[in-house]
Amino acid sequence: MNVLLVEPDYYTRYPSLGLLKIGAFHKQKGDDVLLVRGRKPIEFTPDRIYVTSLFTWDWKPVWEAVRHYKKEFPRTEVRLGGIYASLLADHAKQSGADTVWEGILPLVEDVLPDYSLVPEWKSSLLFATRGCPRKCGFCSVPKLEGAPVPSHDSIASLMYPGHTKAVFFDNNILAVPNWRGVFNELIELQMKCDFNQGMDARLVNEENAALLGKMDIPFIRMAYDYIGIRPWIEKAIARLKDNGIKGRRIVFYALHNYVDGPEDFFQRVRDLLSWGVVVYPMRYEPLCTLQKHRYVSPKWTPEELRMVAEARRVLGYGGAFPPYKGLVEKFQRANNFQEAFSLRPMGGNWRIPGPVVEMALEHEQQSSINKKYFPTWRREKDWRKTPLVTSSLGR
């Protein structure tokens, strides 16, 4: 059987874990497998085509891919899966795909991905756990994965030969007991790791903070989504710092444009900067939206959202606010959201501190900044040196 795997031409920093697993599954059966990105000329006739999907607002490249390959190979079954297909199955069915799969594909869940399909990629992608006990209204994990369950107590067998870094896609690894075994194994293997989807700050305790301090982890992601969890956030940061993890290696997502208002958001950003950690403002998008950056919550205005975006661009770095002295001072002096996020003086004796202005000018004039201050949370370069046309063909 000839199998074609298609990653639509949307932006993503990672190869499709699902497609890599499907590719490995078919190769184990003796099938020929080809992986392409976007719409590319194919030199053979596939017997089956798999198309993946990402966020719901990236549906157009998905439809383009499905329709392109369905036109090229009208007799071949096209199967569509992924996040968009799971959240908006009825909409996805209009793409022209013969089959739309919702949720996880159990058949390949425990298959080791075939990284020979993406030889430029050098890290192993994996899940040690699935699901999350939280039922946050802004998150799709409960629908996609359900309640938390351990997937693997050991991750050594999930590492691809030659890879020196593990990228975890677990959505709440601290909520499942097997985190102890996973953490200890990472320390023993001296494996560089990245918990890409973040950790639950409310579940950080003395034990796991101590283990995180011993791990080769460039930065730790967490979230401060609403003001009610402030005591847990402050305690988690203190515990991580007590175990040798510097604040500039701790990145907190700060949700806004949801049920919060600008003043609530301002308070959370000011909290995090005062505690010496990096803040990454995360604008809420409805789970099933088809257009990004169109939704404005009742407590926000388009102008206020624009102010956040402009502040990220001018005063931030890589879209985040580092705990830079001038930026911390600016937020500490501000009395409200307007003063904190304004790029111009608000009148009176209040003014933007000189270092912040200097930093803003540097960001406007330079495409990148080579400073030891800025750690590895900044946006990584695209691992694809050239557009992915084909990655592997054969058994």
Cβ–Cβ under 8 Å, residues 295 and 269: no
Cβ–Cβ under 8 Å, residues 196 and 221: yes
Question: Are 242 and 354 contained in the same domain?
Answer: yes
Residues 252-271 have pLDDT tens digits of 999 999 999 999 999 999 99
CATH number for 309: 3.20.20
Cβ–Cβ under 8 Å, residues 371 and 19: no
Confidence at residue 156, expressed as pLDDT on a 0 to 100 scale: 87
Q: Which residues pair with 80 in a beta bridge?
A: 51, 100
Question: Are 128 and 237 contained in the same domain?
Answer: yes
Where in the sequence is the domain holding 273, given as residue range(s)? 120-365
CA–CA distance, 47 with 44 (Å, rounded to integer) = 10
231 within some domain:
yes
Domain tally, the chain = 2
394 within some domain:
no
Cβ–Cβ under 8 Å, residues 39 and 71: no
Q: Is 388 left (phi over 0), alpha (psi -120 to 50) or beta?
A: beta
38 within some domain:
yes
Choice among 47-51, 216-220, 240-244, 353-357 with the minimum mean pLDDT:
353-357
Confidence at residue 146, expressed as pLDDT on a 0 to 100 scale: 75
Phi/psi at 321 (nearest 5 deg)? Answer: -105, 105
Specify the higher pLDDT residue, 281 or 380: 281
Q: Is the pLDDT of residue 61 over 70?
A: yes
Report pTM.
0.86
Q: Is the pLDDT of residue 328 over 80?
A: yes
Domain end, chosen from 88, 108, 128, is at: 108
207 within some domain:
yes
- Rounded to whole angstroms, what are the CA distances from 121 to 17, 53, 160, 212? 12, 19, 11, 25
**Neighbour count for residue 349 (Cβ, 10 Å):** 5
336 within some domain:
yes
- Rounded to whole angstroms, what are the CA distances from 97 to 50, 66, 94? 9, 6, 7
What integer best gives the mean pLDDT of the chain? 88
Question: Are 204 and 57 contained in the same domain?
Answer: no
Mean pLDDT of 202-214: 97
Q: Is the pLDDT of residue 335 over 50?
A: yes
Question: Are 305 and 272 contained in the same domain?
Answer: yes
Mean pLDDT of 284-296: 95
Question: Are 248 and 136 contained in the same domain?
Answer: yes
113 within some domain:
no
153 within some domain:
yes
Question: Are 227 and 312 contained in the same domain?
Answer: yes
CA–CA distance, 65 with 78 (Å, rounded to integer) = 10
239 within some domain:
yes
Mean pLDDT of 192-210: 95
Confidence at residue 362, expressed as pLDDT on a 0 to 100 scale: 38
Residues 3-14 have pLDDT tens digits of 999 999 999 989
Question: Are 178 and 283 contained in the same domain?
Answer: yes
Angle between helices 230-242 and 206-214 (to 10 degrees): 40
CA–CA distance, 327 with 309 (Å, rounded to integer) = 16
Question: Are 226 and 146 contained in the same domain?
Answer: yes
Q: Which residues contact 171 (CB under 8 A, 6 or more apart)?
A: 129, 130, 131, 132, 141, 145, 197
Q: Taking the CA atoms of 49, 54, 55 and 59 in sequence, report the sign of the dihedral they define.
A: negative
Cβ–Cβ under 8 Å, residues 20 and 115: yes
Write out the DSSP string of 285-308: --TT-SSTT----TT--HHHHHHH
Q: Which residues contact 125 (CB under 8 A, 6 or more apart)?
A: 14, 15, 17, 20, 113, 167, 169
Dihedral through CA 374, CA 319, CA 213, CA 241, nearest 10?
Answer: 80
Closest-CA residue to 182 (of 155, 162, 159, 204): 155
CATH number for 56: 3.40.50.280
Q: Is 19 left (phi over 0), alpha (psi -120 to 50) or beta?
A: alpha
Question: Are 102 and 163 contained in the same domain?
Answer: no
